A and B are shown apart, each in its own frame.
Chain A
Amino acid sequence: MIGPVTDDDRVFKALAHPTRRFLLDRLFARDGRTLTELESEVAMTRFGVMKHLRVLERAGLVVVRRSGREKRHFLNPVPIRQIHDRWIDKYQERHVSALTALKAELEEKHT
């Protein structure tokens, strides 16, 4: 059943843009960057970068912390892990169990 917009939807939507993935990669390389630092890495206006950061923040992928006068952006790996657990693990498990069944079947025929 398709329900209202979920946290997963926000994460997938946030990840579906190359600039936002690039910003996450920059934070992965070095966490806690300011808007000015991030802006200097992207060929985009400050306003554009802010807009993308807001989408990432709403999806929970970026957490903004105040440190003195600065706002620092941190990559929050938790939502990606949750998506991994809910989606990728599930399919990998089926994949693995299908292979295990195939192996058992082939070995049975073989003997």
Chain B
Amino acid sequence: MTATEKAPQAATGQTTRVYRIYIKATPQTIWDAITKSEWTEKYGYGGRSEITLTPGGLYKGYASDAMKAMGVPDVAVEGQILEVDPPRKLVQTWHPVWDPGVTAEPPTRLTWEIEEEYGVSRLTVTHELAGAPIAEAMVAGEVPNAGGGWVMVLSDLKTLLETGKSFAG
């Protein structure tokens, strides 16, 4: 771990948010669902995505049509891939750029971990949000009319992978 990777929030933990969900699906299925556009447009905020799965590769999370109708630009979130270990671990920066306020905040750091236990996969999302209070409120689902954040996204992902249907149907 380099000095730049060791963000101050990792030391205090006060602006880190952790979300964990158990999903009856293989780690590979979950990996595909978080890294492939044909999956990311089916749950959560429902946007396409573009990820180059190598360290240094770029991440782009596109706005869905519903988000665009609300004035969100084509690319809603930008980022860079930091660590790739399929289908177990993905570390990336995550920088929302859908409005000037949140764009002015520093990029956040997002870690996806998938572990298998007794035929069930455990997905843990750790979001380090130091210095990014607007992004933090959004991903915590605390901003009115801005969706339910990670809890909604992960619940929807679970529903999609276990039943084939997402909240949107």
Contact = CB atoms under 8 A, between A and B. Distances in A.
Where chain A touches its partner, the secondary structure class is mixed
B16 A31 contact: yes
A89 to B, nearest CB: 12
B18 A76 contact: yes
A74 B22 CA distance: 17
A75 B19 CA distance: 8
Nearest to A32: B13
| Interface size class of chain B, counting residues whose CB lies under 8 Å from the partner chain | 10 to 19
A26 to B, nearest CB: 13
A66 to B, nearest CB: 10
B70 interface: no
A63 interface: yes
Given A31-B14, A31-B18, A78-B155, 13 more contacts: A32-B13, A32-B16, A33-B13, A60-B20, A65-B16, A65-B18, A68-B10, A74-B13, A75-B18, A78-B19, A78-B151, A78-B154, A81-B151
